[in-house]
Amino acid sequence: MKNRLLSFRILVITILTLGLASCNDDVFIEPLKVSAESGELGPDQKELFIDISGGDWVVKNMWFYDDEGQTYANNNNGTFEIHTAFSELSALVKSKGLEINLIKCLNNNPASLCFTVTNEYDTRDIVVTVFPTGSYDIEIQDVSYVLDQWGGFPNEDFTSQVITYAYPQGLAEATSFAFPQLDDMPVLYRFEPWNEDDIFARLVFGSGVVVPVPTYGPFIGDKLNFWIMADEKAELTMSRKHFFSPYIPPMPAAVDLPAGRPLDVSLYCYYESIGLQCSIKAVNPATGLSETVKGRLRMMMPMKFTSEVQFR
């Protein structure tokens, strides 16, 4: 009887011990918790607080990615600081989380603040999207082009269909058909800095400021120069855009169309890809000083109209 009672007591003690051990695990292994793994900062919200709890958590590996590239934060005893030519942020570690403050962001595009929160058991990656707090105002002081030297890019030349007149029943009588004079045509273009790693050059060439651009001389009666400065203007951009130019090639000669045959008559435009060297003098808002950046204006110019008759 005594042996049975002793065995029972040993069993109870073992069960209680195991139960207490599991409770201890629940108490001392605290899961890492963050109130959000993403957030936004911008002109209307310059402060963001992320609640963090769970053990001895720490913030590490904080960096900022914007038009300039990737910049790592300086960590001064729990105060993280980001300083670039165009952006400034700070992040302060507090007992209940992380307080992030946006001071300025003058990038042309949204930026990203990234960091890692970790404790001894878990890790979380946080990404905060940072929107520009103001426009990046570029003051353009001068724009010049090398007009007597230009290059072609034949692999980028193309032909585009402009308009088609359809006669599915044919014409009642033969006629001489001429396309009506067009008022303008789109010119495709983009700017390219020589140094792709020059952040200020990229900001200038992508600033959207409207500047003068060259015109193809022969289309306005200039027999001495291929390129001249007339009244054409376009915005600075590194993406392909277009503007409409009234200076276009002459329309093709009239074509003779027969009677009674279903046909289509189409107008096509041949575009030639060319490049002109350019220099732009602008004020750098980060320093207040004038700088000259160099690059190239790429244009896809309408160079020749042709007509084509297709019988059905």
The H or E element that residue 36 is part of is none
The H or E element that residue 146 is part of is strand 139-152
pLDDT tens digits, 268-277: 999 999 999 9
Predicted pLDDT at 301: 94
Residues in the chain: 312
Q: Which domains does the chain have, with CATH numbers?
A: 33-130 (2.60.40), 139-311 (2.170.15)
Which of 44, 66, 65, 63 lies closest to 136, judged by CA?
Answer: 66
C-beta separation of 68 from 136 below 8 A: no
C-beta separation of 131 from 105 below 8 A: yes
Mean pLDDT of the chain: 87
Which of 141, 86, 108, 137 lies closest to 239, judged by CA?
Answer: 108
The letter for the amino acid at 217 is G
Predicted pLDDT at 151: 87
Global pTM reads 0.64
Predicted pLDDT at 203: 84
| pLDDT < 50 positions in the chain | 2, 5-6, 8, 11-12, 15-16, 18, 20-25
